[in-house]
Structures are given as structure tokens and as C-alpha cells.
Amino acid sequence: MFTKKQSEKIAQIPRASRMFKRFYLLFGIIIVLFLSLIGRLAYMQLYHKSFYTSKLGSSSTYKVSTGSERGEIYDAKGVALVKNTISEAVAFTRGNTMTSEDIKKLAQELSQLITLSDTDVTTREKKDYYLADPEQYRKVVAKLPNKKKYDNYGNSLSESTIYANAVEAVSDDDINYSEDELKIIHIFSQMNGTSLFNTTTLDSEDLTDEQVAIVTAKQSQLSGISVTKAWQRSVTDTGLSSIIGTVSSSKSGLPEEDASSYLAKGYSLNDRVGTSYLEKAYEDTLQGSHTKQEITVNSKGKVTKTKTTSVGSKGKNIKLTINLDFQEQVENILQNYYSSQVSSGIAAYSEGIYAVAIEPSTGSILAMAGLSHETNSSEVKSDALGTITQVFTPGSVVKGATLASGWENKVLSGNEVLYDQSLLGIRSWFTYGKTPITATQALEYSSNTYMVQIALKLTGQEYTTADAVTTDNFKSAMKELRSTYAEFGMGTSTGLDIPESEGYLPTDYNFSNMISESFGQYDNYTTMQLAQYAATVANNGKRLATHLVEGIYDNDDQGNLGNITQKIEPKTLNEVAISSDEMKLIQTGFYNVVNSGSGYATGTAMRGGYTTISGKTGTAETYATDSNGNTVATVNLNVVAYDADRSIAVAVMYPHANNDDSKAHQYIARDIINLYVSSYANSSSEQDSSDSEE
């Protein structure tokens, strides 16, 4: 027998054998992997040497796109509203071997040759400029704590992470630059932000002839620098300036929210594009075609070939439907009447006054003018945009559309007689007892309770004196009213070719709100929407999209407005779903509002002049707050109207007047229509004929 110690030794023999087997297996795997690596290297270096050698020495091709001069904007007569001012400027093209240090030195050299003016730089741009000096960067990185340079295993962090940490470490004292240094930083940032082989026009004051000569002479010493023609947008100071919109700078380039879509179209990051209103809406038209190049670079970074695949050209021009002369005269009409309202105190709580004129048969905007008012002051400013951004309660102007909703939904029959009477605490301004009136008289006299009865009918109930009223089905009635109003352009897009408000239509409403809606005391609309409503009535129920642009034009030999290439044709959005006889009843009511001999007619202040006017007035009860914080009763004074030939439809909105006897809104509508008919209607037709001949 074995002793205990001998037994233990014997038991350990198989365990040691297993350990040796595992070791041999692991060693064998390592040998196999090593042989595989040697085999792969042999395969690359012996059998496919030529393939990999060619890869190593192959070239790269970059596709570069450079923008051209932007198209311009003209009024209906060809008067320039937006022109490009051309000047000599310095351009920078970024080479593929340029470092931030190179660019910093270049910016400093340029500052000695041209006059810099812009000091608008961010804190990050100051820090990038500070760290562009390699020595400065090394010092900042050296002072960083280890956790800002290495990970938990002692490995170096990525260069981008270390740089971000270095940026964080730069103090405000480090970047306390002078005004002159900030100017240099501004152009450094422009150059540093330029993509590989792309070109940026640098911000500076216009170059003098001497500066052009100096930069040109030193061009070979200034890598990437050249003299080029630069354009700056010059907008004529008119009441239309606010609808023109803005264009980005080379520095800001493509707006972040639209960058991906522009890049997909072949734009460069530093391209200048329209950022609002007409400039943005017609970006594809106004943007010039790009010069496109293919730049080939060898393995050492040297440019070996530059090929221009397409030459850019100036963008096309757009011509508006608005005659600037007429626009300015409309603005003068507003100014003359509104200034007297302000001085008399009637407009003390009013935030402005707005007017829009449309050609009913085409949807062309003839004028959009506005004045914004600083309440409780005499300050008044031009505000054309307010016609599509400001919303107000319309009042009784909507009653023509309420009748249409009654006919559409088969709850009203023709020129039906209903009784105007006090109802649900509501009465018309002329109501005394119980008066039978027709649909056309309901417009002529501006009956509130005729409209209330239509609203009740839409809920499925009739009303006679002292009947009980239920609140059932009020939501379906509101839906039907709003649907019909939208057919006229109220509470929906008018189809305008720049962004616009679609009004304010609350979703949380009650039975009482629906009743108020029927006579224009709930939802809020823009002046543009009311003008389209008037134009739709004038156009026999056909609603055409509103538009500011009449056509797209080429450039002539001098780069000015050339021949028309595309005329913007009228676009029908819908037709109001009532019969022609029913539409004629609305038109008759509108005519009687102005021209009736009745003492109840509400629009007689629009009589007189070169044409017979039809229209509808509206007085909405509103409230304002005075300088002491007290609530003051006010009214919105609104009107829609058109001329006998239906060549112009007008809407005027005058919110928060403190005197409902004022006729300023009616006088304004009358004067705009008479001005157009007497001086512009025929010339507009002649212009259309001339354009079609071209």
C-alpha cells in the first residue's frame, strides 16, 4: 500500500497532464494565427503588390460647387425693389493642406492689406483663434488634468475630445481681444469654416483700387486669396420691404434646419440662401446656378487637375403683382385717416390698421398695407406683414358666408323671410320688437338674430318667439359654419406664396361661442383672409389662390429684368357649394349695404366716386386695457368691398377703436377702390396684355 503522501502525488499526475495539454493547445492556436498573418502579408506584398501600390499612389477627386449672383425682385411695372450691389472683394479658397495656424497667419496678413470692419464673433470663435497657435495649444493641453487627456486605461483620448477639453479650459482673460483683433478673428472664422476647396467671399469694407492692386500683386504669396466680384442685397425702403424677406450671409450659410435638403440639391454649406418670406419662398428661382468643378489631388495632397464641369449664372428674377405707386398711395390713404384717429384719441387702444386689395379674377395681390400703432401713444410704423400675421375678430362682415352655410346645409331656402327679434339675449342694432326680413335685408341691415336662427337650424331646431332652445349638436353646427367660411377663405390658407397665418380658431368652445360665430364674434381672421372672402363673392363663388408674384423673368444683357419665362397662372382652390342664384342674393345684399335708400343700410359711407361699390361692414365688440390696467370697451371696425366691374376687392381691419361711430374703415375702402378704378385698372389690363405678347 502507498502512504498518504504517495497517494496524493499520484492523484496530481492527471491534473498536471491536463494543464500541459491546454497550454499546448493555446500555443498551437497562437502559432496558427501567426502563420495566417505571415501568409496574408505575403499575399499582399507578393501576389497583389501592384494592386496595393496603385491604391497607395492613387488620387482623390473632390467635387466643388460655387454659388452665383442672386436674381432680383421687381414691382409690377418693373421698378427694382431688391437689387444686387456689386463690389470688389477678397475671396478665400481653402486648400487641402491648410491648417488653422496657416489660416490665422493669413488672416493677420490680410488685415494689413484691406480694411476690416466686422467685429461680430462668438466666444467659441475667439477660442478657436487662440488655439490656432500650436504653441498656445500645447500649453493649454499640458495644463489639462489627466482625465481630460487619457481614459481609465491610460490610453490617449481622441484628438477631437482633447481639443474640446482645451476649448473649455481657455479662460475669458485669455481671449480678451481688442477691437482690431476681433476684426481679424471675424475673417479667420470665415476662412476656418470654409470646406475643403470651397470659396468664401470675406467680409470687409469695399476694396479701393489701391487695395485691389496690392492684393492682386501679392496673390502668389497669399495662399488661397484672390480678388472677386461680390454682391450685397440692397432692398429699396418701401412699405413692401417686410415681405421681401432676408438672405443669409456667407458666414451663416445654410440654415441648420434646411441644410440637408439644400445639400441634396447641390448647395454648399456657405451658400447664401433666402431665409424668410419672398426670398425663401422663391429660393429655387432666385438662386443662381452653381459653378461646378472637379479637383483631383494625388496621394501627396498636390492638386493635379482642375476641371470645370458647368459654369454658373445669375439667378432668375421675379416680378410682383403689386404696382409700387398704387401700394404707396394705399399706404398714404391709411396714414391720412388713421393719423387723425390717433390724434383724436379714437385709436388710443388700437394696435394698427390694415388693408389688402386683390384682383378677384386672378387672385393677384394689388396692395397689402398696414400701420402698427403703439397703443396710448402717437407712434405709428409701416407693417405690411400685419395683413397676414395679425388676426382680429371680424364682426358682421362674415354674414354673407353664414347665409351660404344655411343654403349649403339645406336649412335656409332662397331669400327666406325670418323674424329679426331679441333672441338668447342677442339683438340687432335696429331691432324693435319682431321684424320680418329677407336674407338680403339681413345683410343690408346687418341682422344678428337672422344669423343666430341659421345657427340654431344647423343644430336641428327651429325658433319662434319664446321657444325653448337646447344646446344639442352645437359642435356639428360649428363645424358646418367653419367649413363654409373656409370656402370663402376665412380660417384657412388663402394659398398665398409666402407664409401666412390661417387665423385663430379655438378648439375648446361652447354653445354660446357657436352662436356668436354666426355673426362674426368668435373666430379671428387676417385681413388677407377677409380680402379673399370679398374677392370670392365678387368672383361668383370661385376662390382663387392669392399670390404676390406675377411671373419669373430672365436677365437682359446688363443683368437687369429680361423676358418673362413663366407667368403665374390663376389657381382655383374651390368653388362655394351654393347655386348661382344664392350667390346673387349675397351680391344683392352687399350692393344694398352701400346703395340702399334704407336708413338701416350700414355701408353708405362707401358711396360716391368713380364706381359703384358693394360690400359688407362689421363691428365686433372687443375689449382693451388702458395704461392703468383697466378694461375698456372697444370695437373692431372692419369692411369688405368690391367695385362694379369686380376688378378689385378690398378688406380693411381697424381693431380696438373706442368709437363705433367712426367711418374711417369705410372711407379707406371707398378711396382705395376709387383710386384703383380711376387710375390703375386699365393700365393693369394693358400690362397683362403686354406680358402675354412677350
**Catalytically annotated residues:** 396
Containing 359, the helix (H) or strand (E) segment is strand 352-359
Taking each helix axis from N to C end, the angle separating 399-408 and 474-488, rounded to the nearest 10 degrees, works out to 110
CA neighbor of 204 nearest in space, from 108, 88, 106: 88
CA neighbor of 635 nearest in space, from 621, 616, 618, 624: 621
Who contacts 511 (Cβ-Cβ below 8 Å, separation ≥6)? 471, 474
- What are 33's three cell numbers? 494565427
CA–CA separation, 542 and 535 (whole Å) = 9
Who contacts 335 (Cβ-Cβ below 8 Å, separation ≥6)? 371, 380
Amino acid at 13: I
CB 284 within 8 A of CB 277: no
Sequential DSSP letters for 509-562: --HHHHHHHTTTSSSBB-HHHHHHHHHHHHTTTEEEPPBSEEEEEEE-TTSSEE
Helices (runs of H) and strands (runs of E) counted in the chain: 23, 20
Phi, then psi, of 483 in degrees rounded to 5: -65, -45
CA neighbor of 636 nearest in space, from 268, 408, 346, 367: 346
Amino acid at 517: E
The CA-atom distances, in angstroms, between 467 and each of 427, 453, 457, 462 are 16, 12, 13, 9
CA–CA separation, 82 and 596 (whole Å) = 46
Q: Which SS3 state, helix, strand or coil, does residue 323 take?
A: coil
Amino acid at 373: H
Q: Which SS3 state, helix, strand or coil, does residue 288 take?
A: coil
CA–CA separation, 525 and 542 (whole Å) = 20
- What are 52's three cell numbers? 496595393
CA–CA separation, 656 and 393 (whole Å) = 10
Q: How many CB atoms lie within 10 A of CB 386?
A: 23
Beta bridge partners of residue 291, listed in sequence order: 66
Q: Which SS3 state, helix, strand or coil, does residue 214 take?
A: helix
518-539 exposure pattern, b = at least 16 Cβ within 10 A, e = fewer: bbbbbbbbbbbbbbbbbbbbbb
